[in-house]
Structures are given as structure tokens and as C-alpha cells.
Structure 1
Amino acid sequence: MTIAATDRCTVISADCHAGADLLDYKPYLESKHHAAFDAWAATYVNPYEDLLADTADKNWNSARRLAELEEDGIVAEVVFPNTIPPFFPSASLMAPAPTREEFAQRWAGLRAHNRWLADFCAAAPGRRAGVAQILLNDVEEAVKEVRWAKEAGLTGGILLPGTPPGSGLPELYSSAYDPLWAVCAELGVPVNHHAGSASPPLDATEPAARAVFMVETTWFSHRALWHLIFGGVFRKHPELKLVLTEQGSGWIPGVLDMLDYYHSRLVAAASKASTAESKFGAGLAAMMGNPPSEVWRENCFVGASFMRPHEVPLRDRIGIDKIMWGSDYPHDEGTYPYSREGLRIAYADVPRNELRAMAAGNAARVYGFDLAYLDGIAAKSGPTYEELAVPLETPPADATSPVFAPGGKVRVW
């Protein structure tokens, strides 16, 4: 039986990761850094087992990625970093902010990654939206890199680093970053904030520290939302888009309620007689503009990697037009090779038009994918809507994604 194209679901992963093999970054470095790179690479020991395994080439093998993602039902991807850029001690998402002495070399390393990524995306036209990396130590240089990334075709936007306690950087609400928000708004460049990029350093030798990191890492990433809202970033730059990726989505309605509460409370207090609380609200209304929930509806999105079933009933409060599903390929906590099952466990009871929006339509709108072009590819390899409508009762025995973890099937309707 022939399956009509309209019976297949187009799936864009709004959360995948890639990077070059370590030595392959060298041609993308300015020649003045080559000697230092050779010395660094000769003694560098990669701390990540998955980047030393036989499967590490999933990060840079273009043909393998296309084949595996397509086999998994995914026709396009938003590409965040994964491997170690030159002069970094660990993956750039996890590395602490560089010191003044480290900045020049690490900035060169990130620029090399961005140029590698532009070539990597060009190898699969229309199917990869690469996310360029920046550092916040030099805003003027970051602005130049945003302009370069736009011209180079990196349609995924930029990855916003965190400013964790102790980083020495101004907080994200600081006006120091206004030129960065302005250029992103001007060029239509999405600002992405990914989990893991805003947590303070931890003592990896302590089991408790590792557990605390798991509990707190998403919270530290959430902070970007209220920093930018209360900092008035979206009032000054109403075209700016903020995407919060791999941080879950169930927290959003409650946090928006909380932010609205503080906004209304502080604005009201500022208009009253001089009190301790009135000082906290002074200037807030004029600076930030609309209430946080309105800012969310106008400017913000969530890369809700493998949305879990208990989050799905909140989709109307989050905004069906705000949610973008992701597989987190090639991480072992991602849904590959069971992305169809990952979609089923969450979205089996969701109407087709809503599923299409969360699986592809929203990502196409935010990152500029040609949905009609991708529909043509999905017509051959995408999962059928009929398949995705069947609830998943038993997860695959060898699945490693937390979407299949005990409790992941709990439904709150």
C-alpha cells in the first residue's frame, strides 16, 4: 500500500550536537595559533568517553548523521556544539568562562568551531541549522561574530553562554550586552540558551556534587529567562527571539505565574509611599515593559527535547506554537535510535495539527527551515501519523533516554 506524503510526519530535531574531530579544527584556526594548537593538542587528554569511542564520528561524519537521523525519522536538525574546541579543557557548554589570559585563545577556538560548522551545514543544504558560539568577555567581538555567522549561513542563531556565580562577567540583565541583543534582533538571529552552560563549577570527585549538579543545572539555565525579561531586553528589542533548549518544559507555566506576580507586585509597590519594597520596584515598569507572560508569548520558545508525557497536558499553557521537539542526537540520553517511540510516548493522544507544529512547524519558523522541502524528504522516511498515534506501552529494553525512564509514562490529563 502506498502511503501518501500527507500521512507522514515531518520531524525536525531542535536539539542535536556536533563538532569536529580535535585535529580537524586546525585548518580553521588562524595560522598565528597553529604552533600553540600543536603544543596543546599533543598533550590534551579528552575527558569524555563518548568522544573516544568508535561512535565518536557521529559528531562530524556528515553522511552517517544524515543516514542515522533519517532512519530515525528525522529530516533536519538544529546543531549545537559537542566536541572539544581548540584550547578548551572540556566541551564549551561545560567549560567555565575564560579568564582574561585565556580569552584570546579560547575565542580563536570557538571561531574555528563556527567556521567548521558552516562547512558542515553546507554539506547538507536545508537540513542543518548551525548554532554559532560566542563569548561574552568582549561584546564588540561577539557582535562581529554574529554578523559573520549570519553571512555564513548559520541559521541556528547563537549560543548564549551563561554567567554563573563566580564567572566575573556582568549578569545577563546588564546593559553591557545591549549591542549583542540589538544585532541579533536586527538580523533575525535567534538567541539560544542550552542547559549545562550556566552552572557554576562542581567538584566531580564528590558524588553529592554530581547529584546537586543534576538537580540545579536546569535552574541555572532558566535564569536567562528572567534576567532578559526584567532587564528590559525584549522591550528594547521586540523582534528578538529567545530559545531555551534541553531544560524541560513543565516548569514554564509556574515560573511565568511567579514572574508575573513579582512584576505586578513590584510595579504596584513602586507607586506607593517610600517603603523597603518600593525601592525594589523603582524603574521596573518603565524598563521592562509588558508582564513576563506576555513577553513569553511574543518572544520566547522552548527546545523541549524529548518532551515527557506529564508535560504534554501543559502544552496550551506553554503555547503549542512555542514548543520544539528534539532528539539530542548523538548523546546516549537522546532518543536515537528510538525517536519514533519517543514521539509516541509523549504525543500519541495529541491532534495531528498540534503534533506537526511541535515536531517541525515551530522549528521551521524559528530557524528558517523550508518546510515544504523537508516534507518531500519526510514523505519517504518520516513516521506515519498512524504509527505515532499508537500509545507506547512498553519502552524498548535497551533504550537509554530518560524519556523512557520509570515514571516517564505517567499521564496527567
Structure 2
Amino acid sequence: MSGNESGTKDIPQVISVDDHVIEPAHLFETWLPSKYRDQGPKPFTAGIGELAYVGGKYRFTTDPDGQITDWWRYEGEVFPYKRIIAAVGFSRDEMTLDGITREQMRRGCWDPKARLEDMDLNHVEASLCFPTFPRFCGQTFAEARDKEVALACVRAYNDWMVEEWCGDSGGRLIPLCLIPLWDVDLAVAEIRRNAARGVRAVTFSEIPTHLGLPSIHSGYWDPFFAACEETGTVVNMHIGSSSQMPAASPDAPPAVQAALSFNNAMASMMDFLFSGVLVKFPRLKLAYSEGQMGWIPYALERADDVWEEHRAWGGVRDLVPEPPSSYYYRQVFCCFFRDKHGIEAIETVGVDNATFETDYPHVDSTWPHTKRVAEEHVGGLSAEVAYKLLRGNAIRMLDLPFDQDRTVAATA
């Protein structure tokens, strides 16, 4: 696509590194081995009852007199689909916590052919999609009592993701797989199983300790990070993949959590920068999904200042030999979709570190106006930088078979 130094005339098609998929009702019936189907997740349709927010999660009950909703039932727990997670096509005032059926959703939420059509309408060439019912990094299965069935569910989800959701898309739908979070050896095996069939992205928790799992400082996850480095698998961490969202007060309205959502990405990035993980695994790639980027310049400044002034008593003098920002620029990717402050600071954020997302079909999604939103952000940038932000960095991050000649030339 052409452009000039004062702005871009015709922006390139977007590669979105953070979208979402609503799982079809047949997923586990089709892809779960028959011996596990009776114990696996079951779809059903019922009225939705009262909502409560308990332990960082929304809890719902069924109600025969409530709004008809599509659900999953698994190990005695029920999970409804809500309008805010399948919001495309609704007005802002209609994007609520009300239940929704697949029939009421835009078909692109769960049907891959329809998704490609919606991507065409939205100036998007390729898309990486996070799960919904399993939650952002597979917490649903990590919390399950029967881990044998849970492991089968993780594998079934990944098989569906690779072979059905992405299989006939010509590479436009990019597979993003789960791991069994409760066992690092099984996680390594799943990374290698999927990498062997071309998968280059896995979803992981931004703050594993919030899930009752070992921290990234403990060394427990090193075999997982080593397998990701070896296979070129990008570790993708979505806001909320710790099953917690930041809030200033326990009784604050959900809007406070929404406004503070980037805090999780910021906390996680600081954790990694001072962990030594990026030193030990210099080719490991981290991607922060839906965290935006306007906060990054100060976070890097503060990290480097702490390293310079406080590294002896701060416990990182021998662990992190270079300023933390050097590891960020080498190994970490952020993403954005509404962040003009981040664009103003793009040289510090990193023209080679920022990627773009559309968040389809969530309440924040830029669908079907992504081209206009992208133009508003990159219109004042050079064509080369606009290309990197909208697609080039994603191609390089995920080793995608798009524009390879141009990407290599741009990063040479």
C-alpha cells in the first residue's frame, strides 16, 4: 500500500492479534473422545436468573422465567453467554450483561465462514481469537476436579481450534491454543503437539499466582518457557487471564475495572522484566493482549530507574544484567485499538513492538469501523510505521505467511 511521510493515503489491511470466538454448541460432542463425553461440557438453553459477582467472577443462576440464553454445564457449574461478549451488531445501550443465544448473536461470533465475511467488512485480513467458555487461558479446565477429563477437554478445544475454526480459512484465522495449566510437563507436551502442526501462539495467565499456580519467579514454568522458545510459540496474555480485574474499592461499579484493565498488563510486564525469564530465554516472545500501550513509556522509565538506583537491595543486581527496557524492546509486544496517547509516544512504546487488535465481538470492538479507527490513529505516521503497527509486527511476531518479503526488508 502506498503512503507518504506526512500520512497514509490507503492503509493496509489489519492483522488483529486479539479477537474472540464463541464456541459452537457441537464443539465437545464432536471433538472430545467418546469415553469423556458424558463428563465433558454440555450445551443447553434456559432462562437466565440473578447475577452475583463472587471471588472475581460473575455467578449466574438459571430461571425458567428469565431471558432465554445459551449455556454450558460442566462439573455442576453453569456458564451463560452474555451480550457484552457477543456485542457486535448491538447499540451501545444494548451491550449489557443480559443473556444471549447463538441465534441472537451475529453469526460471525461462532461460525468461521461468517467470521471471514465480517473480517472482510472490517478491513481485517487475519485474526487471532481467544476462547470464551474455557476463559482466556483455560481457567475453566484448570479449576476442574477431574483432571483426566479436563486434559481431554483442552486437547479437544485445541483440535477444534486448529482443524475446524482455522482449518478452512486459508491462514486468515490464526490458531491460539490452550495448555493444561495444572501440570507443566503436560503443558510442554501440548505446546510441542500443536507446534508440530504449525501453531505459533498459546494463551497463558498474566499473573499465575492469582489462579493458585506457581509464580514465574519460581522456576516452575521454565520448561514451558523453554518449549515456547524452542518452537517459536508466542506467549499471549489477555487482561483478565488471572481471573481478576483491578478495582479501587470492592463496591466500585464495573466501569472502574474496565478503566483500570491495563493495570494487569502493566503488573505482569513488570513481573517478567524483573524475573530473569527474558534473560534466561532470550528468544521467548511475550504478547500483552488488550492491555493498550499509553502507559508503557513511563513503566519502562520507572523500571530502568529502579534497576539503576535500587538493584542491589531490590534483588535483581545479578538476575537482570541489562536495563529492563532492553528486554522489553527485544522480546515483548503490546497491542492497541483506541490509544492515541500511545501513538503520540510510539517511538518510546516501540515501532517494532506495537500491534493492532479489533476485539471482535466484544463490547469494545471496533467492528465494523476498524479502518476508520486505524486511520485516526496512524494517519499522521509514515507508511512504513503504519504498516508495522497494523500488520507487519504481527506477521513477524507470529511468523505468519503474509508479506514475508516486505517484513524481512523492514526489519533488516
Give the alignment's TM-score, normalised by structure 2: 0.77
Residue 52 (structure 1) aligned to one of 101, 114, 129: 101
Superimposed CA distance per residue, residues 59-112 of structure 1 (whole angstroms, 9 cap, x where no aligned partner): 331221111111211111122223x14xxxxx3459578447254444332322
Residue 338 (structure 1) aligned to one of 369, 375, 394: 369
Structure 1 or 2: more helix by fraction: 1
- SS of 2:293's partner is coil
Superposition CA RMSD, Å:
2.9
Residue 301 (structure 1) aligned to one of 328, 333, 336: 333
Map 1:216-295 onto structure 2 (within 5 A).
Answer: 216-267=260-311, 270=312, 278=313, 280-281=314-315, 284-295=316-327
Aligned length: 350
- SS of 1:145's partner is helix
Deviates more, 1:244-253 or 1:210-219: 210-219
Report what 1:356 is aligned to: 387
Structure 1 or 2: more strand by fraction: 2
Report what 1:24 is aligned to: 27
Cα distance in 2 for partners of 1:313, 1:163 equals 29
Residue 186 (structure 1) aligned to one of 225, 230, 239: 230
2:157 matches 1:107: no
- Structure 1: tracts of 5 or more residues without a match: 86-90, 271-277, 376-413
Report what 1:65 is aligned to: 115
Give the alignment's TM-score, normalised by structure 1: 0.77
Deviates more, 1:104-113 or 1:321-330: 104-113
Cα distance in 2 for partners of 1:298, 1:310 equals 22
Q: Structure 1's 334 and 242: CA in aligned 2 closer, same or farther, altered over 3 A?
A: same
Maintained 8 Å contact 1:96/1:167: no
Report what 1:79 is aligned to: 129
Return the offset for 1:333: 1.5
Report what 2:177 is aligned to: 132
Cα distance in 1 for partners of 2:348, 2:246 equals 34
Q: Structure 1's 266 and 202: CA in aligned 2 closer, same or farther, altered over 3 A?
A: closer
Map 1:382-401 onto structure 2 (within 5 A).
Answer: none
Cα distance in 1 for partners of 2:106, 2:153 equals 20
2:175 matches 1:175: no
Cα distance in 2 for partners of 1:97, 1:124 equals 27
Return the offset for 1:212: 4.1
Return the offset for 1:38: 6.5
Cα distance in 2 for partners of 1:106, 1:150 equals 21
Maintained 8 Å contact 1:164/1:220: no
Q: Structure 1's 287 and 136: CA in aligned 2 closer, same or farther, altered over 3 A?
A: farther
2:205 matches 1:161: yes
Cα distance in 2 for partners of 1:374, 1:78 equals 22
Maintained 8 Å contact 1:12/1:360: yes
Cα distance in 1 for partners of 2:244, 2:37 equals 31
Superimposed CA distance per residue, residues 260-311 of structure 1 (whole angstroms, 9 cap, x where no aligned partner): 11212233xx3xxxxxxx3x43xx232233211100111111122x142222
Counterpart of 1:64, as a letter, is A
- Structure 2: tracts of 5 or more residues without a match: 4-8, 45-71, 87-99, 407-412
Report what 1:198 is aligned to: 242
Maintained 8 Å contact 1:78/1:128: yes
Counterpart of 1:152, as a letter, is R
Q: Structure 1's 352 and 15: CA in aligned 2 closer, same or farther, altered over 3 A?
A: same
- SS of 1:311's partner is helix
Return the offset for 1:122: 1.8
Cα distance in 2 for partners of 1:67, 1:246 equals 23
Counterpart of 2:352, as a letter, is D
Q: Structure 1's 201 and 244: CA in aligned 2 closer, same or farther, altered over 3 A?
A: closer
Counterpart of 1:110, as a letter, is V
- SS of 2:261's partner is helix
Cα distance in 2 for partners of 1:314, 1:9 equals 22
Cα distance in 2 for partners of 1:231, 1:38 equals 37
Residue 351 (structure 2) aligned to one of 299, 320, 325: 320
Cα distance in 2 for partners of 1:136, 1:311 equals 33
Cα distance in 1 for partners of 2:245, 2:229 equals 31
Q: Structure 1's 45 and 362: CA in aligned 2 closer, same or farther, altered over 3 A?
A: closer
Counterpart of 2:24, as a letter, is D
Q: Structure 1's 373 and 253: CA in aligned 2 closer, same or farther, altered over 3 A?
A: closer
Maintained 8 Å contact 1:312/1:347: yes
Return the offset for 1:7: 5.3
- SS of 2:117's partner is helix
Counterpart of 1:285, as a letter, is R
- SS of 2:80's partner is coil
Cα distance in 1 for partners of 2:187, 2:234 equals 14
Cα distance in 1 for partners of 2:404, 2:277 equals 34
